[in-house]
Amino acid sequence: MTYFAFSCVIALSYLLFRFRKKQRGAENELGRLRENIVRDERNQMRAQGPDLQDLLDALPYPFFSINSEGVLNRVNSQAAKIFDNRDILNRNIQHVFLDKKLSSLLSKSLSKFKAYRKILRFPPDSAFSSYGLDKDTHWEIDICPLSLQGDNREFQLTMRDITASVHSDQVRKDFVANASHELRTPLSVISGYLEHLTEEEGLDHKETAQKMLETMDRHVVRINRIVDDMLLISKLESDDSVPLNIAPFCIATCVKDVIERLELVIKRQGSTIEMKVPEIRFMGDQFYWTQILFNLVENALKQNPDIPLKIHINTEIDEDDNLKIQISDNGIGIPANDLPFIFKRFYRVEKHHSQSQIKGTGLGLSIVKRAVEAHGGKITAISTPRIETIFTIIVPQANKDIDDD
């Protein structure tokens, strides 16, 4: 080999060595870049994770994310509450949602990759039971499939508790039926008696005519009461503030007025009313306070038509200078399942074991609540059936020292 050839081999070997060294350096740099990219992506995912979870936790309704295998891979805090914060992540929906209607709907959505929206009713012993009451609950179920990257499919399940809305719709329907019945019956009686009285010689039998007129008068009073209640609750629940005729008055005057108006009913039922009502004067609308007390006492009497009721009315100024009024009775009481709803419009406690149907529009206690709140007060009720039922009214900043002028 000539010297020139040897020199070329040495030069090429050196160049090859330099190239491989640079190649290894470039590969190492590329590896470092890849590691940095992966680390940055991981950091970014970690940074985004809490933000996404916080966003989901801010939702006011339960949220579940389900992968294509039917496994829960994400839930929010509202969803966790339903299952008492048990660990339901990475579990199959068949092992989490035990209700057959819901699990069937989810399976159908997974198999058909199709959205579904449906209202389901759950029994009281279900995980989705509201308020812990012995009543069915209603949820709006919304299942929406999401196509992410490639074949990666995910489903989101949202649930909205619409029990209150369904209940409101039902009580409105019941009210229309009840009000129609309550109005139709007296109108039919009045119409029939008028037809009889206007017939020839219809007024000749004065005793019979007098009884008919008295019956007609009672039914007219009934109709007026229904209309007055509807107008009053409409006024109290209007968007505008209730115009109150604020003036100093004595609460004992309202109590005495109520007892006088209900005296005949009290005597007929053999009931008694015990009062502990000092001469307390404070600022308020006397008309509404008379209505409040009248509705509470009358409600107790109507709920116990066959019981010689004992009603207690107590008023005092408490240590915080609030007016406190308590009305209690020893009647059949209010079932625990009905207590949360008794102040709602048109709500009527279900018929008790007695055979007589309690009449009413279901507006009385709603009027009481709105009138108390219009004065800045609060009313609560507790009941132990057949032992004691107590309505308590607290009105803040009651003025106990008000001059008569």
CA distance 302 to 175: 18
Residue 103 pLDDT: 87
Q: What is the CATH number of domain 247-395?
A: 3.30.565.10
> Looking at the whole model, is its pTM more than 0.75?
no
Instruction: Supply 9's token pair.
Output: 């081999």
Q: What is the pLDDT of residue 194?
A: 86
String of DSSP letters for 361-373: -S-HHHHHHHHHH
Domain map (residue ranges) of the chain:
21-58, 61-161, 166-236, 247-395
Residue of 321, 305, 303, 306 whose CA lies nearest to 391: 303
Mean pLDDT (10-residue bins), the chain, 405 residues:
53 59 64 61 54 81 88 88 84 86 87 87 75 71 74 82 80 70 79 81 77 85 78 67 82 93 91 92 90 93 90 92 94 89 76 46 83 92 93 78 44
pLDDT at 306: 86
Cα torsion 313, 317, 318, 324: sign: positive
CATH number of the structural domain 166-236: 1.10.287.130
Domain spanning 61-161, CATH class: alpha beta
pLDDT of residue 400: 46
Task: Let me know if 268 is exposed, middle or buried by CB neighbors in 10 A (0-12, 13-18, 19+).
Answer: exposed
- Amino acid, res. 37: I
Q: Which amino acid is at 122?
A: F
Q: How much is the pLDDT for 271? A: 94
Question: What pLDDT is recorded for position 28?
Answer: 67
